Amino acid sequence: MADDARARQALSSGVTLSCVIPCLNEAQNLRVLIPELITLFGSLVASYEIIVVDDGSTDETPQVMADLAAGEPALVYVQLSRNFGKEAALTAGIEAAHGDVVVCMDADMQHPPSLIPVMLERWRHGIEMVYAVRADRHDETLFKRLGTRLFYRLMRTSGGLEVPPNAGDFRLMDRRVVQALLELPERDRFMKGLFAWVGFQSEPIYYDPPSRLHGVSRFKPLRLFRLAVDGLTAFTTWPLRIMSVAGLLLSLASFTYGLIIVFSHLLWGDPVQGWTTLITVILFFAGVQLIAVGVLGEYISRIFSEVKQRPVYLVRLRRGAGLKPVRVLR
């Protein structure tokens, strides 16, 4: 074990590492995770900081962090002014990080710290982004698995981004990747998409996710659906194109059908008939138009949130020196 630690230290000497952990009501998990990370990083890198971004927790997270921070300047606590969502919390953490490499992970122990040395080694070999991919999703419901599959398929359609399926936010990034992410100006930050968009040399590593240590997942089906729509509208435009193409095809079909009816009326004098057909057609097209307006609305709501130019998150309080002294924003 000592040899192992020494070997790792030699491998990573001089490296500074920032570990970013967004958390919402994870006090119990943080009590386990933070000491584990401190022990791990102590033997792994030259210097490190652990940035815990409190995304509006209502449990005893602030107290737990204050206890853990005693005599531990490497522990940075960034408390957001309310719950801004995981994507915003991740952004806050990445912006606060100073390390040569930045690791993002969840607080619930579903992202095993033991993978970090493996990621670091890949980074040592020149890989700029190492992301963890769940080897299987059998712990999830069939509904969620099918939904996820459909989402990744839709993301890939028509030259969309190559977002690696089943890769979460557990990843290690080189400073250059982090810099690129920070330069992206958008406010709706679908991180999985942004990670893929910036590119760089990326490599997956596979793992079997353990189940959550304490608490329950915050990503219920409806929230996942919302996230999927955010991702699709942020990174693809094919839904808009489908609407134009569908509109064109339907107009052509309607025009042809109209011609047939007019001619049959003129030539054979068919009496007006078909109330059923009429109602079906009216309702069908009303539905199609509402869907089209809805799709447009999704894009417009994104434009709306971008033009408002509100900050992605607000910091209420910040504690801990981290790698470099930081300003206290109280």
- Residues lying near ligand UDP in the complex (CB under 6 A): 22-24, 26, 55, 83, 85-86, 89, 106-108, 110, 217-219
In the list ligand UDP, Mg ion, none, the entry touching 107 (Cβ below 5 to 8 angstroms by class) is ligand UDP
Phi, psi of 311 (to 5 degrees): -65, 155
Q: Please say which residue, 107 or 155, places its beta carbon nearer to Mg ion.
A: 107
Phi, psi of 170 (to 5 degrees): -75, 105
With 0-12 CB in 10 A as exposed, 13-18 as middle and 19+ as buried, what is 171?
buried
Q: Does residue 110 interact with Mg ion by CB under 5 A?
A: yes
In the list Mg ion, ligand UDP, none, the entry touching 23 (Cβ below 5 to 8 angstroms by class) is ligand UDP
The residue assigned the tokens 């853990």 is 68
Q: Please say which residue, 213 or 326, places its beta carbon nearer to ligand UDP.
A: 213
Phi, psi of 18 (to 5 degrees): -115, 135
Q: Taking a C-beta distance cutoff of 8 angstroms, is the pair 328, 320 a contact?
A: no
- Which amino acid type is present at position 67? D
301's CB contacts (< 8 A; 6+ apart) are: none
Least Cβ distance, residue 199 to ligand UDP (angstroms): 24
Q: Please say which residue, 108 or 230, places its beta carbon nearer to Mg ion.
A: 108
313's CB contacts (< 8 A; 6+ apart) are: 80, 81, 84, 88, 89, 91, 92
Segment interacting with Mg ion, rule: CB under 5 A, options 110-118, 142-150, 241-249, 292-300: 110-118
Among 55, 100, 108, 169, binds Mg ion (CB under 5 A): 108
Least Cβ distance, residue 55 to Mg ion (angstroms): 13
Least Cβ distance, residue 108 to Mg ion (angstroms): 4
Q: Please say which residue, 206 or 263, places its beta carbon nearer to Mg ion.
A: 206
Classify strands 16-23 and 75-80 as parallel, antiparallel or unpaired: unpaired
Q: Does residue 55 interact with Mg ion by CB under 5 A?
A: no
Q: Please list the helix, strand and coil fractions of the chain in percent, rounded to the nearest 5, in that order.
A: 50, 15, 35
Sheet holding 75-80, edge to edge: 202-207, 129-134, 167-174, 101-104, 16-23, 47-54, 75-80, 315-319
Q: Does residue 25 interact with Mg ion by CB under 5 A?
A: no
Least Cβ distance, residue 158 to Mg ion (angstroms): 31
Least Cβ distance, residue 223 to ligand UDP (angstroms): 8
Q: Please say which residue, 168 or 239, places its beta carbon nearer to Mg ion.
A: 168
In the list Mg ion, ligand UDP, none, the entry touching 26 (Cβ below 5 to 8 angstroms by class) is ligand UDP
Least Cβ distance, residue 35 to ligand UDP (angstroms): 17
Q: Which of 110, 217, 223, 91 is nearest to 170 (CA)?
A: 110
In the list ligand UDP, Mg ion, none, the entry touching 194 (Cβ below 5 to 8 angstroms by class) is none
Q: Does residue 12 interact with Mg ion by CB under 5 A?
A: no
Residue 194 CA to residue 190 CA, distance in Å, equals 6
Q: What does the CA dihedral 313, 314, 320, 322 come to, rounded to 10 degrees? A: 40
Q: Please say which residue, 23 or 76, places its beta carbon nearer to ligand UDP.
A: 23
Q: Please say which residue, 123 or 195, places its beta carbon nearer to Mg ion.
A: 195
In the list ligand UDP, Mg ion, none, the entry touching 87 (Cβ below 5 to 8 angstroms by class) is none
Phi, psi of 217 (to 5 degrees): -65, 145
Residues near Mg ion (CB under 5 A): 106, 108, 110
